[in-house]
Amino acid sequence: MKRKRLGVVTDGAFNAGLTVRLDPRCSTEDLRIGDFVIVEGAHNRYFSMISDMQLRATDARLLADPPRDASPFIAQALSGINTYATVQVKPMLMLEKGDELAFLDELSSPQPVRTIPMHFAELCQADAMDFATVFGEESKRNFAMGTPLTMDIPICIKLDRLVERSNGIFGQTGTGKSFLVRILLCGIIQAGVGVNLIFDMHDEYAFGKRSEDGQWVKGLRHLFGSKVLVYSLDERAASREGRNVDVTLKIGLNQIEAEDVMLLAEELDLTSASKTTVGLLQDSYGKEWLRRLLGMSPEDMASFCEARAAHQGATEALQRKLRDIGRLDYVVDEVPFSVIDEMVAALDKGRHVILHFGRHDRPLDHMLVANIVTRRVRHLYQGKVERYEQTQAAADQPRTLVITLEEAHKFLSPAVSRQTIFGTIARELRKYYVTLMVVDQRPSGIDPEVMSQLGTRVTGKLTEERDIDAVLTGVANRSFLRGALESLDTREQVLLMGHAVPMPIQVRTRKYDEEFYRAMGAGERRSAVQDIAELFGE
């Protein structure tokens, strides 16, 4: 079937993109910024994106003296002769013609553009075949994320590539980030391309939740049964009906390091003198530093300050502020690391872990716990990778771990990202088989260096200029993508770009509903036998 023709190329440059004059019958109102379109060159087909539109007139007098009360008839009479419209089109990928049927063959898949078509090449609407040529057919590892804005066919993302590098999910509040993350996590779990550690800060991933539309949506625990383990900080949550918690997690004072307290400097309102004191305490007492500080009498403190030349006032203030941590329900004096080590053992067996915060939902709780757990997990992964490098046995190859982190800017702001474990993970790429899925409404709050390391970005509507700039940090063709980002709806539409997709594309997000649950294989209840077989069968 022939594609619908929209216009012809009249001008262009490789860097600036092509100018296409629209056919008289084609209205600018039928097109959208960000649309996926095809330019048919003589030898190549160019998969492109509409990045701008302009209205023009052949005669300047018409613009100086436009017809008063232009009836549709007059507008139509002028259109194509005296008035016309052009669109700016940016080719993103190209494919040599005659290759269409061989698109499954890796060699003849679309390539980066290296040239542009000549004058009068045709601009056409993309059809279902074009989408399939670029984004591939839906399969287990080629996961359908949604549909084009104007068609009902799947747009897929390559899950292997998604987990290969750290990713970002952005968008202002209510754009559907958390829903999107659920969808992506389900894809990763179902395809088995990696294991997940999810910091469930707002109680939305483990168990069901009511959506803004008033529907009950299922949690991952309900969808995947015991494939997903729930660790909770909240003992009370464990006793609520329908909420099966596997482990109640405690944090020990012995596990809290200077780095954790530095991350909390803003939450705890620490001065720079207090931060120095933390260093002195850790030097003096090692792992015991926090317990020792909290237990200090005024006399102990005076002698410590004198011995280490610490500032007395700052040390007192520090003690006062850190008492808040000591008083947290889930913090006890001493906890062995074995609980987190067992968690990593479960990840090794292909299980996924959700860390549920329950009622402990302050930023202080998130930051403290996520940092401690991640530091330990990353430490164990480092050991695994070193072993694998030694033995090079397939059995020792670690599974890729994806750590999902909401409100990521708190952990990755320029002020703290150099010191925290999350900053380290984002920067070292996949060396240790650990990557991040950062979820945030304010990407401008994240260290630009971390942003530039993100492989795949999935972005919903953003209105703040700074946030749009931040999301496009380190992205090719950023000036062409800005319009595509700005033209998204406020809900359930995203721009996909980066490592896991061949070219940027606007997508209407897949619905997270009964149909999706069925596609994930839920519904037919999993039996415990099945779970155990899977767990030990590998």
Ligand X SMILES: Nc1ncnc2c1ncn2[C@@H]1O[C@H](COP(=O)(O)OP(=O)(O)OP(=O)(O)O)[C@@H](O)[C@H]1O
Contact residues: Mg ion, CB under 5 A: 177-178
Partner from ligand X, Mg ion, none contacting 176, C-beta within 5 to 8 A by type: ligand X
Query: CA-CA distance, 266 to 318, in Å (whole number)?
Result: 13
Interface with ligand X (CB under 6 A), residue from 196, 277, 473, 509? 509
Rounded to a whole number of angstroms, the minimum distance from the CB of residue 23 to Mg ion is 43
Q: How many CB atoms neighbour CB 133 within 10 A?
A: 26
Considering the complex, state which of residue 336 and residue 523 has its C-beta at the smaller distance from ligand X: 523
176 binds ligand X (CB under 6 A): yes
241 interacts with, out of ligand X, Mg ion, none, CB within 5 to 8 A per kind: none
CA distances in angstroms from 520 to 172, 184, 206, 225, listed in the order given? 28, 11, 16, 12
Asked if 29 is part of the footprint of ligand X (rule: CB under 6 A), the reply reads no
Q: Give the separation between CA 159 and CA 151, rounded to whole angstroms.
A: 23
Q: Is 493 in the site for ligand X (CB under 6 A)?
A: no
Geometric angle at alpha carbon 220, from 214 and 226, rounded to 5°: 140
Q: How far is the CB of 238 from ligand X (least distance, A)?
A: 24
Distance separating alpha carbons of residues 176 and 107, to the nearest angstrom = 36
Shortest Å distance, C-beta 205 to ligand X:
11
Residue 512 touches which member of Mg ion, ligand X, none, C-beta under 5-8 Å by kind? ligand X
The reply to whether 506 sits near ligand X by the rule CB under 6 A is no
Binding of residue 463 to ligand X (CB under 6 A): no
Q: 176 CB contacts (<8 Å, ≥6 apart)?
A: 460, 491, 492, 494, 509
3-state secondary structure 455-496: CEEEECCCCCHHHHHHHCCCCCCHHHHHHHHHCCCCCCEEEE
Q: How far is 131 from 150, CA to CA, in rounded Å?
A: 12
Tell me the per-residue interface mask from 425 to 444 with ligand X, x by CB under 6 A, - otherwise.
Answer: ----------------x---
Does residue 491 touch ligand X according to CB under 6 A?
yes
**328 contacts: CB under 8 Å, gap ≥ 6:** 251, 360, 365
* Binding characters for ligand X, 60-79, by CB under 6 A (x = yes): --------------------
**Which residue, 133 or 190, has its beta carbon nearer to ligand X?**
190
Q: Residues 43, 240, 349, 511: which binds ligand X (CB under 6 A)?
A: 511
CB of 185 to ligand X, least distance (A): 13
Q: Which residue in the block uniquely carries the two structure tokens 């996961």?
A: 143
Site string for ligand X, 211-250 (x = CB under 6 A): xxx-------------------------------------
Stretches 97-105, 122-130, 177-185, 315-323: which one binds ligand X (CB under 6 A)?
A: 177-185
Six-digit token string for 170: 């952005």
Contact letters for ligand X, residues 188-217 (x by CB under 6 A): -----------------------xxx----
Say what the alpha-carbon torsion angle 230, 233, 236, 242 is, to the nearest 10 degrees: -10
Nearer to ligand X, 246 or 486 (CB): 486
What is the SS3 assignment for 3?
coil
Closest CB to Mg ion: residue number: 178
The DSSP line for 28-44 is: GGG--TT-EEEEE-SSE
Please give the C-alpha separations between residue 191 and each of 188, 402, 424, in angstroms, as whole numbers: 5, 14, 27
Closest to ligand X by CB, 40 vs 492, is 492
Binding partner at 171 among Mg ion, ligand X, none, C-beta below 5 to 8 Å by kind: ligand X
* Residue type for position 329: D
| Cβ atoms of residues 372 and 328 within 8 Å | no
* Strand ranges across the sheet with 493-498: 155-158, 142-147, 505-509, 493-498, 456-459, 167-170, 434-440, 401-406, 195-200, 352-356, 228-232, 247-248
Residue 292 binding ligand X, by CB under 6 A: no
Q: Binder to ligand X among 131, 179, 330, 480 (CB under 6 A)?
A: 179
Closest to Mg ion by CB, 404 or 473: 404
Cβ nearer to Mg ion, comparing 177 with 376: 177
Name which of 431 and 511 has its Cβ closer to ligand X. Answer: 511
Tell which residue, 386, 407, 406, 405, has the closest CA to residue 397: 386
For Mg ion, the closer of residues 219 and 252 by Cβ is 219
Return residues touching ligand X (CB under 6 A): 171, 173-179, 211-213, 441, 491-492, 509-512
